[in-house]
Amino acid sequence: MCGIVGILSKRGENVAPLIEKMLSCMKNRGPDGVGLATEDEIVYSNTFNKLFFSQTSAFNVLAHSRLAIVGGSCGSQPFLSCNKKLVLEHNGEIYNYRELRKSLESHHEFKTSTDSEVIIHLLEDHYEKTNGNLLEAVKRTVFQLDGIYILAIKEQSTGNIILVRDGIGVRQIYYGEDDRYFAFGSEKKALWKISLDGKIQRLLPGYALFISQRSEENSFTTSLHPVTVNTSKSIRSKYPISYKDIDSALNAYNNALIASVEKRVRDFSRIGIVFSGGIDSVIVAYLAKQMVPEVICYTSGIRGSNDITNSIEIAEKLDLRLEINELSQDDVERMIPNIINVIEDDNMGQVEVAIPIYAAVKLAREQGIRVMLTGQGADEIFGGYSWYSKIVQKYGYDKILEYMIKDVQLLYKETLEREDKITMSQSIELREPFLDPNLIDTVLRIDPRLNIQNDGVDAFDTLGKRVHRRLAEKIGIPKEIAYRIKEAAQHGSGIHNLLDSIARQNGFTESSVKDNYLDKLNKRELMGSSQRYGHLFESEKIWNIEPHIQMYLEKIAANILPSISKQ
């Protein structure tokens, strides 16, 4: 895992000092080394210091800070291709890098044992085969990669740069420009640091941003290109029902899940789990425990909250080691400004979910954990949200698949970016077994009738994820755990109600909310399926944004991240 930044001057100015500013605000993304690629050279440093940046002068710079996970301490980026034509930076993990490396070693010189270096040599091969067509070489390269990635690739002869994001969007990259610079970074704050306070854009999953140099000095254009192939004309043609009975569904899912977890824990002797006591994190922890010598589960919440109580009970029954970060009201109130800074967002739904995750991850970091697994994504692919069954009642099973796929497609900005920033703020890499592309493809081919039951007009399925739960039983998880109903993180941890109390104690109540603020609130982007449409199918008020809480969070955000209001 890493931090990536880049900056191009439109005026021929030396931008190397700005690179130091951009990387310095997210040092935790890469504490194990830093590298720079300019027009003329690539330089590396084992430490982060201003002197390193001040010795460089360039108007076009890529920079990289590294968190060493695969390949040990030897593996600084950027990488230069053997033919000296291409420079690469990579943020992510490539799980089939060993297999790819075997096909490349005969004609490429490898200098590290990292997964990232495999990409530059694979890219170089395709670049030569396509007679220097960089975009086509990128498309062919990512087609062969099994993993997650943000790639920044520079063509030395032209100065052209391509940014690439994997199709799920597990990692992120943002970009923006003004009349002096075009810049990009792994987090928005890297761009805010150099006063790019205007509209900052994210690169969408499955796309490449081509930054092309014009013939005029220091002038360039940008264009977006899809790099993952999607030839389907409809959801049903892309995901035909392949598994119509429970046995075939269980077998297919079991094989895909085991493979997904195995590739994410390979070679580790110690790993952490973001644990809530829900079946998603339980099944990940249960399987990981069979593959890794030491597995530690981490949970957080208010004293006596359901997540903590249930996690303790489940950990004891399954013989899982559990560590708990118990929070008080004062703890939470002190955390809120930092949480907003870390996730770069003040949306109530985002903040209240981030708090217990951040607290769990912080404890993991204090105990020396470098990699954690999460159960993120299972609700979307298995139909686990309570409102899914009500959509089936209203629109039928064909329609529910559309909702589920759309929710998967929006995970990148509703969940994944938030959680990447949380874990990387603690120099921890997060891995998501349920978002493995092969697993997603397998599960979405299961007949949704097997996951969401529809027994009558008023009989809503409050469980969902029934194939998921049946597999949990099959591999040895007790039925009472597999079929337990789990509250959403913000409610199970007790954070939602606590935020309400904190806001009120700071003078924000329903009477504080004016009509003009409600108009403003209605224009905000809704994040997460509960905000976007779940509340329309639920009678509970708990899924709505509470205006007085949102006002409280926005006041804090205005003091620490004034640029949020400009996004």
Q: What is the pLDDT of residues 392-406, one digit of tens each?
A: 988 989 899 999 999
Higher model confidence: residue 163 or residue 11? 163
Highest mean pLDDT among 367-371, 382-386, 535-539: 367-371
In 25-68, alpha helices (H):
50-54
To the nearest 10 degrees (0 to 180), the angle between helices 466-474 and 246-265 is 70
Query: In the CATH scheme, what architecture does the domain 235-559 have?
Result: 3-Layer(aba) Sandwich (3.40)
Confidence of residue 234 (pLDDT cuts 50, 70, 90): low
Average pLDDT of span 147-174: 95
* Res. 566: pLDDT tops 60: no
In 167-210, alpha helices (H):
188-192
- Options 1.10.760.10, 3.40.50.300, 3.40.50.2000, 3.60.20.10; CATH for 2-226 is 3.60.20.10
Cβ atoms of 552 and 506 closer than 8 Å: yes
pLDDT in tens, 492-537: 999 999 999 999 999 999 998 988 888 888 888 888 898 899 888 8
* Res. 390: pLDDT tops 80: yes
Confidence of residue 231 (pLDDT cuts 50, 70, 90): very low
Phi, psi of 223, deg, nearest 5: -150, 145
Helix (H, G, I), strand (E, B) or coil at 520: helix
Q: Rounded to an integer, what distance in angstroms lies between the CA atom of residue 533 and that of residue 545? A: 12
Show Cβ contacts of residue 209 under 8 Å, excluding neighbours closer than 6 positions.
162, 163, 164, 175, 203, 222, 223, 224, 225
Rg of the chain in Å (alpha carbons): 24
Strand order across the 174-177 sheet:
42-45, 34-37, 60-66, 2-9, 181-185, 174-177, 201-202
Show Cβ contacts of residue 443 under 8 Å, excluding neighbours closer than 6 positions.
253, 256, 381, 382, 467
Share the mean pLDDT of the chain.
90
pLDDT in tens, 321-336: 999 999 999 999 999 9
Nearest to 465 by CA among 480, 478, 453: 453
* Res. 459: pLDDT tops 60: no
Show Cβ contacts of residue 229 under 8 Å, excluding neighbours closer than 6 positions.
143
* Res. 126: pLDDT tops 90: yes
* Res. 213: pLDDT tops 80: no
CA separation, residue 192 to residues 37, 185, 197, 549, 562 (Å)? 22, 10, 6, 26, 10
| pLDDT in the model for residue 545 | 85
The structure's pTM equals 0.94
| pLDDT in the model for residue 26 | 85
Average pLDDT of span 187-210: 92
Domains of the chain, residue spans:
2-226, 235-559
pLDDT in tens, 41-91: 888 877 776 656 666 777 888 998 876 665 544 557 899 999 999 999 999
* Res. 216: pLDDT tops 70: no
| pLDDT in the model for residue 565 | 42
* Res. 461: pLDDT tops 90: no
pLDDT in tens, 270-329: 999 999 999 999 999 999 999 999 999 999 999 999 999 999 999 999 999 999 999 999
Q: Give the up-direction half-sphere exposure of residue 322: CA atoms within 13 A in the CB hemisphere.
A: 25
Q: Rounded to an integer, what distance in angstroms lies between the CA atom of residue 207 and that of residue 194? A: 25
| pLDDT in the model for residue 237 | 72
* Res. 458: pLDDT tops 60: no
